[in-house]
Amino acid sequence: MHIDNRKEKLYRAAFKLFLTKQYEGVTIADIEEAAGMTRGAITYYSKNKRGLFKDVIRHYLIDKQNINYKINPDQPTFLSFIDAFVEGVKQTMGGMQRLIDELTPKHASQSYLLLLMQLKMYFPDLHDEYLINRNNELSLWNVKILQGIERGELRSDLDVMTVAQQFVFLFYGEAFYESLLSGLDVEQLRRIMYGLYRLIKAMDNDMILK
């Protein structure tokens, strides 16, 4: 097997374990069995479980959660940016779900949130990297709202940062709430974001979204 494929196989197996059993519940023996690799092969990529956890989380929750990785931010309208964001969430969720396909969507969402909590508890430096992504996401919403105002698509009297926060908090709040139920419904997320869009669009753009 190509060395990069071995690394991806290891990361996928380890991430699945960290999601389903959490950091403290996973042993190197578990990872050996799940990845079908020897301990020596595993330590070639990361010297111990702690290092592997950090590498895997950085790969899946930081690098792949980068807003510019998930979506193409160069959208012609603010409404199309909303659609691109929701589609990016959908694709990211699909990739995560394929890693843990034996879990229900509810348990997948709950496991994901628990994993984020562990970052703050055990790996504050990694948690800080995760927060940088979230801040970049907020900044991008801010930029897209400003562009929407400049185009005349959005109202000119908006408090731009507050509206940007509303979109970001809407997504994370909905993700948390739905994790307690059946898992995030991306089409429901789209409908709610469309509802907020209706409140902030310029009056002469009533035909943009029915």
CA distance readout (Å), 137 to 120, 144, 168, 172, 185: 19, 11, 8, 12, 20
Is 152 in the same domain as 194?
yes
Per-residue pLDDT of the chain (210 residues; tens, 9 = 90+): 445 688 988 998 998 888 888 888 899 999 999 999 999 999 999 889 999 998 988 888 788 777 777 788 899 999 999 999 998 888 777 666 566 555 554 555 677 777 778 887 888 888 888 888 889 899 999 999 999 999 999 999 999 999 999 999 988 887 766 655 556 788 888 999 999 999 999 987 654 554
Is 12 in the same domain as 103?
no
Would you list the DSSP string of 40-104?
HHHHHH-SSHHHHHHHHHIIIIIITT-HHHHS----SSHHHHHHHHHHHHHHHHHHHHHHTTTS-
Is 108 in the same domain as 163?
yes
Is 104 in the same domain as 182?
yes
What rounded mean pLDDT belongs to the chain?
A: 83
Is 161 in the same domain as 89?
yes
Q: Phi first, then psi: what are they for 154, rounded to 5°?
A: -110, 160
Residues sharing a CB contact under 8 Å with residue 100, sequence separation 6 or more, in sequence order: 16, 19, 20, 108, 111
Compute the distance between CA of residue 62 and CA of residue 46 in angstroms, rounded to an integer: 18
Compute the distance between CA of residue 155 and CA of residue 205 in angstroms, rounded to an integer: 10
Task: Give the DSSP H/E element, type plus range, for residue 176.
Answer: helix 160-179
pTM over 0.85: no
Which residue reads 């698509």 in tokens? 153
pLDDT in tens, 122-135: 888 888 888 888 89
Asked if the structure places residue 68 within a domain, the reply is yes
Residues sharing a CB contact under 8 Å with residue 186, sequence separation 6 or more, in sequence order: 86, 89, 90, 93
Is 76 in the same domain as 140?
yes
Is 39 in the same domain as 74?
no
CA distance readout (Å), 105 to 33, 83, 135: 25, 22, 27
Asked if the structure places residue 115 within a domain, the reply is yes
Asked if the structure places residue 82 within a domain, the reply is yes
Which residue reads 């990785």 in tokens? 69
> Which pLDDT score is estimated for 64?
75
Compute the distance between CA of residue 133 and CA of residue 152 in angstroms, rounded to an integer: 29
Is 53 in the same domain as 72?
no
The number of folded domains in the chain is 2
Compute the distance between CA of residue 193 and CA of residue 185 in angstroms, rounded to an integer: 13
Asked if the structure places residue 210 within a domain, the reply is no
Among 40, 57, 74, the domain boundary falls at: 57
> Which pLDDT score is estimated for 99?
61
Is 35 in the same domain as 80?
no
The full length of the chain comes to: 210
CA distance readout (Å), 36 to 33, 97, 198: 5, 21, 52
Q: With beta carbons less than 8 A apart as the criterion, state whether 7 and 45 touch.
A: yes
Asked if the structure places residue 101 within a domain, the reply is yes
Domain span including residue 187: 64-205
Compute the distance between CA of residue 104 and CA of residue 83 in angstroms, rounded to an integer: 25
Asked if the structure places residue 129 within a domain, the reply is yes
Asked if the structure places residue 28 within a domain, the reply is yes
Asked if the structure places residue 18 within a domain, the reply is yes
Is 147 in the same domain as 124?
yes
CATH code: domain of residue 200: 1.10.357.10
Is 85 in the same domain as 184?
yes
CATH code: domain of residue 53: 1.10.10.60
Is 76 in the same domain as 27?
no
